[in-house]
Amino acid sequence: MEFRYLGNSGLKISEITYGNWLTHGSQVENDVATQCVRAALDEGISTFDTADVYANTAAETVLGEALKGERRESLEIFTKVYWPTGPKGKNDTGLSRKHIMESINGSLQRLQTDYVDLYQAHRYDVETPLEETMQAFADVVRQGKALYIGVSEWTADQIRAGVELSKELGFQLISSQPQYSMLWRVIEEEVVPTSEELGVSQIVWSPIAQGVLTGKYLPGQAPPAGSRATDDKGGADMISRWMRDDVLTAVQDLKPIADDCGLTMAQLAVAWVLQNDNVAAALVGASRPEQVADNVKAAGVKLDVDVMKRIDEALDPVVVRDPGKTAEGTPKGRVV
């Protein structure tokens, strides 16, 4: 396993980070989820990312149980706050002081830890003054409940404003967690340059584009039984944007490139996002322990300029680059 600094901080994390979105507490049974976490530990992964909203808090509980007994100081545990949880009342969502302070306590209880290494704003809250949100995060840090603060799917301007306030309040906002893959490159034009300037790293989710970049989905054919594209608990909805024949055809052109590199298509996809110097880690999930071992082989892989060019040529017609897509993903109001 390779390790990278997270933002302008002294915190090192595993460049392959285990995430349990869409799996723990929902798509896979708890014993299999625990096996996946154990496999991640065996492969040298020390960083684990979750969120209170995943499976309506169940994912945090599963992760806490799976990590019980591990030396806490050897782990980096990340979680998030924003989306509605619990009974989903009027204050059970957003980034108000009330919701943040209550949510961190719930997350720590479920994760069975006294602190998280990184506490992330899961989206930008347009209904709460940013000053209130940042002051609450500052207090969470001062109370020792989180060591660092991050954000997820914030625009470049939102990140800049957040970093400025965090400095005034005496804590570090060091990370951004956006979607990023060979197919979805919307952060490259604005978010990445701004983050580089401000000392913020990316922890990217969906580097394999919900599994499409594995090459297992073929144009003109039904999705394999049991795959994410057939999952009715959220997986099929998330992958639907890529289930077009033009995308699936272009992805098949990556197979000879992966073969030439001695990699699977999934490993090529994960290695590709890690070529970006502003990316500290690629989030990978698993529904089977062997998937963890497969993805970890992307750690430390260096792709030469010719390989990167071949990838661009294969995918260029179907790549999404519009930086405005990040702003489009900002909720227009709190979701209840």
- Whether 121 contacts 154, CB under 8 Å: yes
Give the pLDDT of residue 230.
53
The predicted-structure confidence for 229-268, as pLDDT tens digits, reads as follows 556 665 566 787 888 889 999 999 999 999 999 999 999 9
Confidence of residue 228 (pLDDT cuts 50, 70, 90): low
Q: CA–CA separation, 257 vs 251, rounded Å?
A: 11
pLDDT, average across residues 13-23: 85
Confidence of residue 25 (pLDDT cuts 50, 70, 90): very low
Question: How far apart are the two ends of the chain, measured CA to CA in Å?
Answer: 40
Give the pLDDT of residue 231.
61
The predicted-structure confidence for 138-184, as pLDDT tens digits, reads as follows 999 999 999 999 999 999 999 999 999 999 999 999 999 999 999 99
Give the pLDDT of residue 22.
57
Q: Which residue has the higher pLDDT, 270 or 238?
A: 270
Burial (0-12, 13-18, 19+ Cβ within 10 Å), 164: middle
Quick one: CATH architecture of 3-328? Alpha-Beta Barrel (3.20)
| Half-sphere exposure in the Cβ direction for 22 (13 Å, CA) | 21
Considering only CA atoms, give the Rg of the chain. 19
Helices (H), the chain: 30-42, 58-67, 97-111, 130-142, 156-169, 191-198, 235-239, 245-252, 255-261, 265-274, 289-296, 305-315, 324-328
pLDDT, average across residues 269-287: 94
Give the pLDDT of residue 227.
62
- Whether 312 contacts 303, CB under 8 Å: no
Q: CA–CA separation, 191 vs 111, rounded Å?
A: 30
Give me the active site residues, please: 54
Give the pLDDT of residue 334.
78
Confidence of residue 276 (pLDDT cuts 50, 70, 90): very high
Give the pLDDT of residue 24.
47
- Whether 23 contacts 51, CB under 8 Å: no
The predicted-structure confidence for 181-200, as pLDDT tens digits, reads as follows 999 999 999 999 999 999 99
Give the pLDDT of residue 28.
55
Give the pLDDT of residue 234.
55
Q: CA–CA separation, 239 vs 214, rounded Å?
A: 13
DSSP 188-237: TTTHHHHHHHHT-EEEEB-TTGGGGGGT-S-TTSPPPTTSGGG-TTTHHH
Q: How many residues in total does the chain contain? A: 336
The predicted-structure confidence for 89-119, as pLDDT tens digits, reads as follows 889 999 999 999 999 999 999 999 999 999 9
The domain ranges of the chain are 3-328
| Half-sphere exposure in the Cβ direction for 254 (13 Å, CA) | 28
Give the pLDDT of residue 222.
72
